[in-house]
């Protein structure tokens, strides 16, 4: 059981490091805080909250995975290598796809509150 709770400690340490060191993660967290503030202000529905929170979790999780992949690739080589570049670009692309869809979802949710 102690190992189980230690695992949470490692996970929270990873999140904390992302907040301290990763600019893009900070940007995504700020965007999440803005969307949460807007959701509270406009009193969005439960289903809208679920959509916002799910897509936000996806973006933040992909950003963390992208960072882990980048760090792992950097441990392998600091030189420019075509395969390493492709790996990093694909991982960053995954974050971008999720972020674009998150923006679309936020637009779809908040438009009806803004255009009254």
Q: Is 22 an active-site residue?
A: no
Catalytic residue among 22, 63, 70, 79: 63
Q: What is the DSSP string of 77-103?
A: -SS--HHHHHHHHHHHHHHHHHHHHHH
* CB-CB contact of 35 with 80 (8 Å): no
Task: Name the residue with tokens 């670009």.
Answer: 89
Crossing angle for the helix pair 46-76 and 23-42, to the nearest 10 degrees: 180
Alpha-carbon distance of 17 to 87, in angstroms, equals 22
Q: Annotated catalytic sites, by residue?
A: 63
């Amino acid at each position: 059981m102690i190992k189980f709770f230690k695992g949470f400690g490692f996970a929270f340490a990873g999140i904390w490091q992302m907040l301290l060191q990763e600019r893009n993660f900070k940007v995504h967290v700020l965007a999440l805080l803005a969307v949460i503030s807007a959701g509270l202000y406009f009193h969005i529905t439960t289903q809208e909250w679920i959509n916002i929170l799910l897509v936000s979790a996806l973006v933040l999780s992909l950003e963390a995975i992208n960072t882990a992949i980048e760090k792992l690739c950097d441990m392998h080589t600091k030189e420019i290598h075509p395969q390493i570049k492709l790996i990093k670009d694909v991982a960053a692309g995954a974050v971008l796809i999720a972020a674009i869809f998150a923006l679309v979802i936020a637009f779809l949710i908040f438009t009806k509150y803004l255009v009254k």
